[in-house]
Chains A and B, each alone.
Chain A
């Protein structure tokens, strides 16, 4: 799985509690992403990072924050978890090449199943 480790793999938490999910890569790829997967919605981008301390919002960023203090680690935080954030969360990494070269492949982790009760 391209050297991507997500932790924890499963978590159950109560509404209103903070939750942090971790993505760790050993590929030294520049770009890292957090997606959520829900039935009937496919995968939707939450936040992404294009370098250490450089992050930006995706399609469904409300209620989430991220941090990237090292190339290898990208953290996703739910400041106050809600039931609507029950989902499977995937981290992905990629490295973008020049236009004339091969478009990057995004490698995905195994996912974290989060249940907010």
Chain B
């Protein structure tokens, strides 16, 4: 049972455009929703995270939109740059995350110059 579904698997966006990656979750006990960015040969690194008491969080060019009733959340990358080319993972956890994260399958993002 896949508890966090992520789409699309791959995405190509022109430089300066908006990249959008979507995730849906099933477990209503989840209460923490981070996005991780991973470059080839590296471990994932936290990009931005949200808790369900807010509907949106923005940090620079990165925004998470959260829809609790639909059990969906998305990552928006504004003014996408070639340096944003990476694999992005959404994730979810419950109870402070002590028992680990449940990840989506990842999105391979390519920003074309």
Contacts and interface: CB of A to CB of B under 8 A. Distances in A.
Contact of B43 (A31, A50, A105, A110): A110
Contacts of A111: 41-43
Contact of A103 (B6, B32, B89): B32
Interface residues of B, number: 24
Interface of A: 1, 31, 33, 35, 40-45, 48, 50, 56, 58-59, 90, 92, 94, 96-97, 99, 103-111
The 9 A-B residue pairs with the shortest CB-CB distance in the complex, in nearest-first order: A108-B43, A42-B103, A96-B96, A45-B100, A42-B105, A43-B103, A103-B32, A105-B46, A96-B98
30 contacts: A1-B43, A33-B100, A35-B100, A35-B103, A41-B105, A42-B6, A42-B103, A42-B105, A43-B44, A43-B103, A48-B99, A48-B100, A90-B44, A94-B97, A96-B98, A103-B32, A103-B51, A103-B96, A103-B97, A104-B97, A104-B98, A105-B46, A105-B49, A106-B97, A108-B36, A108-B45, A109-B43, A110-B42, A111-B42, A111-B43
